[in-house]
Chains A and B, each alone.
Chain A
Amino acid sequence: MEKSATGQDTAPPCRFFIQGRCNAGRACRFSHDPRYLQQKDVLGKAPCKFFQTGGCVAGDACPYAHFIVKKKKPAASKPAPVAFIPKPTEGYAVHAKASLRSDELEGCSAYKNTLGDAEDDLTYETESFLIGITDDDETNTLEAGSSLPDGFSYAAFARRGLNDAEIDASSIVAGSQDLLTDEDLAKRRLLREQIMASTSKECGICMETVVGKQSQFGLLEGCDHIFCLSCIREWRSVNILEKNVKRSCPLCRCVSFYVIPSSFFPRNQEEKDSVVASYRERLQKIPCKHFNFGAGECPFGTSCFYEHRYRDGTLQQAGMPRLRVTEDGELAAIGKLKLSDVLGL
């Protein structure tokens, strides 16, 4: 734990300590200050951090309690372990300054710091700024203190595996409103709409709502039926069935060769196309494990979704297979001939 010269705790709060499960104990380099501890509801459920900003899409299915955390600093008279000095600290002052500095954030429900006259009376809604901090402990508290637009938590979706093509993850963490362009805001608003429109969609396999299950949608190439990514992947990996049976949609038996993960269910073909395109674009940046920079051989050939780049930086070219004339005067391919070579895919 970092200490300033005055012995005060300046480290950012430990996100595991806040959840009551930090294994590092006193060796943890993040703050275990008790003032960061969460309140719990009557059932002992921890508060939902997304509810704090008004943006939990899980609704009743959320495993966390939906109430707004109002946290008072523990009274200074209370005895506490030496390591956890419940006194206003340097870091604390920074939060206060941050709230004063960012005037533009006023009125935003996510960040309502009210500064009392004395430090001990300082009341604030902890969770809102903790969201920012816990997502990236390296971020300094000033940045983390700034809030997200519309009181909506995008960190939720970022954690659920939202890809950076849909939302630039770095802009979530930085989160500062002045850094966001109108385009970013519009993108976020659209994404929120799309997710909200998908909340009632039920998976055809587990029959639960996909958003409520905190899962992603698994879109099929050939049809528009709704499945969780995990469910449809599990079904497609069942070994006892024939390939064509498990590759087909469980509902309409339309064969699909790949599943596209998505955080929302596209409302029309246009949206679906853009999801597919951004997914493929993302994969194309990842080197193919089979191809292994030219050292291995990819069974998917040139139709592989992943990048086929040689060590020297050149991309594998799709084209005619290299042929040679054998001793008998017949043509034969050099190396293995793949179906994609013949079909020209």
Chain B
Amino acid sequence: MSQRLLKEYKEAAQSKMKEKDIRLTCQENLYKWTAILQGPSGTPFEGGTFHVQLDVQENYPLQAPKARFITRIFHPNIHFKTGEVCLDILKTAWTPAWTLQSVCRAIVALLSNAEADSPLNCDAGNLLRNNDVRGYNSMARMYTKLYASTPARD
């Protein structure tokens, strides 16, 4: 299946220009990818640069890649310490039609649409569940400033 990874690598290199908010890179090992995501505008993550590590499994694309945030982020569905991402398509709803690029797109979408009912980060989840959007936004913005404000090197 490394044929497919090679193809995705080529496509990632091509789409670098098109999609400014997602930069998918891979050095030496096709099974270890790093995605550099820009926080979507209109969210408390705006202006932040988030590094996500994607570990591709051996039987990819039959099994989902493992995604982990390296940059700390305050988000109900992302573990604050380990960076683990709770996203259905990375677990039960995975299908081989997803690519690494589309997984990144899904993660960016998750940043703007948090699902507070299945939280990995209970503090963030509780704030949202109690409708304290202002509190959640300010916390998230603070952590974005604190950990994710170094712009990606080019």
Query: Which residue numbers of A lie inside 8 Å of B, CB to CB?
Result: 204-208, 231, 234-235, 238, 240-242, 245, 248, 250-251, 253
Contact = CB atoms under 8 A, between A and B. Distances in A.
A238 B62 contact: yes
A245 B4 contact: no
Which 4 pairs of residues, A with B, have the shortest CB-CB distance?
A250-B95, A250-B97, A205-B96, A251-B97
B14 interface: no
Interface of B: 1, 3-4, 7-8, 61-63, 92-97
Contacts of A206: 1, 3-4, 61
A245 B93 contact: yes
B7 A207 contact: yes
Contacts of A207: 3-4, 7-8
B92 A204 contact: no
A223 to B, nearest CB: 12
A163 B61 CA distance: 29
B102 to A, nearest CB: 11
A204 B7 CA distance: 13
A111 B91 CA distance: 57
21 contacts: A204-B96, A205-B61, A206-B1, A207-B3, A207-B7, A207-B8, A208-B4, A208-B7, A234-B62, A235-B95, A238-B62, A238-B63, A241-B92, A241-B94, A245-B92, A245-B93, A248-B95, A250-B95, A250-B97, A251-B97, A253-B95
A250 B96 contact: yes
Contacts of B63: 238, 240
A250 B95 CA distance: 5
Contact of A245 (B1, B61, B95): B95
B96 A231 contact: yes
Contacts of A208: 3-4, 7
A220 to B, nearest CB: 12
Contacts of A238: 62-63
B79 to A, nearest CB: 22
Contacts of A240: 63
Given A234-B62, A240-B63, A242-B92, A205 B97 contact: yes
A101 B46 CA distance: 81
Contacts of B93: 245
Contacts of A250: 95-97
Contacts of B3: 206-208
A217 B134 CA distance: 53
B6 to A, nearest CB: 10
Nearest to A241: B92
A251 B92 CA distance: 15
